[in-house]
Structure 1
Amino acid sequence: MKTSLSADIYLRFLQLAEAIRGLPTLPALDPLEERMLGLIANAGARQERLSVRDMMAKNELGAPATIHTRLKSMREKGWIELADTEDARRKQLELTEAARQHFEKLSACIVQAARDA
């Protein structure tokens, strides 16, 4: 079956991304945690604040208790950290340096996949 150039690039990216997932870095995330990580990363990229309260208000992610449990798990795994805000009761969600490095590696995979195509 012949695929398009863009499909070839994407498939190559998936292969490269899977290879870096096998490297001993941060512990794996479950699908909900992956989705939450994406929301946190996107908010950071837009330089927007995303607090724990904001995340728990996202009904599409499930019950607040589920979200809170996943955030705790992601902190323990080293993917996210909580930063103080001007209101001591509100904590902002941020990527850890290790998580930012993970995204840098994924970015390199995209570049490599496009170069190899």
Structure 2
Amino acid sequence: MTRPADIYLRFLQLTEALRGLPSLPSLDPLEERILELVARAAQARERLSVRDMMAKSELGSPAMLHARLKSMREKGWIVLSDTEDARRKQIELTQSALRHFDKLSECLVKAAKSG
């Protein structure tokens, strides 16, 4: 019988293979965490502005977060869109980032089926 941990470890193995694919440039661990926050907010249909992100002190200083958001925009993971208040920018995933999450989901399903 397969242990639940085996499924997770198989998932990690499959996701490692994704890192070698020529899709989007890789993210550092903090950028991955930011990407996950943006994705969860989008799934919950919640708005997430740059100001909202800056309020999350557990992610680091505002200057560091601005640098990470800029890097993620340059890498093609996120876009900043206008809101009704021109001073506020909404953080959104790009189509490429959404495809990345689709691929991760496929890895999870494949790992679960092989377990």
What TM-score do you get using the length of structure 2 for normalisation?
0.96
Distance 1:113 1:73 in 2: 31
1:115 aligned residue: 113
Number of residue pairs matched?
115
Q: Displacement of 1:4 after TM fit?
A: 4.8
Q: 1:92 aligns with which of 80, 90, 93?
A: 90
| Percent pairwise identity | 70
Q: Which runs of 4+ in 1 moved over 3 A?
A: none
Distance 1:14 1:99 in 2: 18
1:106 aligned residue: 104
1:21 aligned residue: 19
2:69 aligned residue: 71
Q: 2:42 aligns with which of 41, 44, 60?
A: 44
Unaligned runs of 5+ in 1: none
Distance 1:36 1:53 in 2: 13
Distance 1:107 1:83 in 2: 26
Q: 1:59 aligns with which of 57, 60, 74?
A: 57
Distance 1:102 1:15 in 2: 16
Distance 1:36 1:99 in 2: 12
Deviations 1:38-94 (A, max 9, x none): 111110010000000110111111110000000000000000001111111111000
Q: RMSD value over aligned CA atoms?
A: 1.1
The residue type equivalent to 2:83 in the other structure is T
The alignment partner of 2:85 has SS state of: coil
Q: Displacement of 1:5 after TM fit?
A: 2.4
